[in-house]
Structure 1
Amino acid sequence: MSGQPLRVVFAGTPEFSVPCLEACRTSGAEVVAVYTQPDRPAGRGRKLTPSPVKAAAQAAGIPVEQPESLKSADIQQALAAYRADLMVVVAYGLILPRKVLALPRLGCWNVHASLLPRWRGAAPIQRAILAGDNESGVDLMQMEAGLDTGPVLLERRTPITRQDTGGSLHDRLSALGADVLAEGLRRVATGEVLVPRAQPEEGVTYAHKLDKAEAQLDFSKPAMTLEYQVRAFDPWPVAEGAIAGEALRIWAAHAVDGSPDAVPGTVLGASRDGIDIACGQGALRVTALQRAGGKRITATDYLNARPELRSRA
């Protein structure tokens, strides 16, 4: 390496990617450019808003590129002009053509928020919770043309607890991703060649993009299934269900024992501990919710507005 720092092009877009960008900068690599998605309309005014990665790059004085795609020869030529040793991709949101994958001397690395080959694709964090997985993690992967099919260079693991939500697991995996990326960069900078581990052919699952329609709770399903939904969809798109005829957003809930003879969707009891709703198996105890046009409130506050639901001791 003749003492020169690694020249890195970083490609990422959402908040999840920002710690990885910082890890590139603090690991001793030289981030010569940041690629991120074009500014998108956001908020009530639908004002064009830069991605979190763009904002972080601009604050650090790093050149920012925002092509709509990486397919054209001109775009690829501009990327090649940065003479990167390595391209680091973290939730970028654009497909990298084969020619782009071959541009950097060390190829392209990807930080992926799952234990591959489980949960390849767009929404691995939420899919792991929805499936009831008891473990997740991040893989540092050498990219190839397939969707998250490349060999794994380094890995970090973390348990998924019943307290975890899509938001809490997102934040933990974002930090773990920065940690594993920093280690990989440090080791390569010293001349080490990381040994790639091919992904096994068994156990492949795909984490399809979240659809808002999935957030609707069906109380004929087991309570544990609904608990997974509630936890996975916090903070987006937030689970939805009806309590005693009122459509609500359900922010926090957990499975408890229920009455086997109760009709699914029936309110079994309501107290300061929560509102118990009969399910196909067990009951769902709702502890935080949101009325139409309102803000997130506790079950206790909701019961103050609907005292008729309270259990009569």
Structure 2
Amino acid sequence: MLLRIDDTDPARNVPGGEEELVGDLEWLGLEWDEGPVRQSERAGRHREAGAELGERFDGITLLRPDGTATYHLASVVDDIDFGITHIVRGFDHRPNEALHRRLFEALGATPPEFVHHGLILGECGKKLAKRAPGSTVASLRDAGIPGPAVRRYLDELGVPVHDVHYDLPRIRRLAIEAIESMSDQELADAADAPLEVVPALRGARDLNEARDYARAILTPPAPANVDARETLERFRELLERSNGNVDARALVRELKAVGGNLRALRLALTGQERGPELWTVIAALPRDETLRRIDAAL
């Protein structure tokens, strides 16, 4: 696969844009055999083809006054030179197909196969705007969506015959499944967390939440006024009795059976009212650190 950067229009080029594009593709797990090839570095070849055809073709400008190629000429010349066999673009590019076919033929080449797919629409029913929530790869990554979840969503879309509405809730559901399917090491790496806290991250809805869970476990909470002394003392007693062999699930079950205030226990251990399953927090914390946090809350 060839990665080509179509950058012949300086007005559309954004500083750092190529680096962001390459980073997005790598994050999605896409690999290419050749490139990136920049159209801006092939200006001489484009001018050569433009001279052969003339500055205008079928009433369409091929070369700008400064000698640089327009989109139509640069795309067709590079498609020919790099042996592109399939051109897949959105329906909004269909009007260009006839012109591009004629350009291929005028340059002595056989046109490749053209495929036009439906567009992704926003909530308003129009083409998805770049400012819409989750509309860019970078915004999905920043929202904590794992790359495999986005890949799976794109695989589900395939090459749509008709326009489709962007389904961000579906991507969020796929994010949960992607996190569940990660190995312990993969999840630890993705959440920048040590392996021992990974079980507590399994219920996270995205990687940002997984990182929040990890921080809540690893960062000692500020002293909290926890009004559940009986629960905390009972928990401390059970933990000390375990002699280092803590069955966290059983411990939580026992506290729950006697009406223990599990919300207060969570507050004492993490400083938060919500988070991962309580037993996973207890299992992830070293025994001495757990006791220290309980003592601080008593």
**Shared fold (TM-score, shorter chain, > 0.5):** no
- Greater C-alpha Rg: 2
Structure with the larger helix share: 2
- TM-score (norm. length: structure 2): 0.31
Structure showing greater relative contact order (alpha-carbon pairs closer than 8 Å, 6 or more residues apart): 1
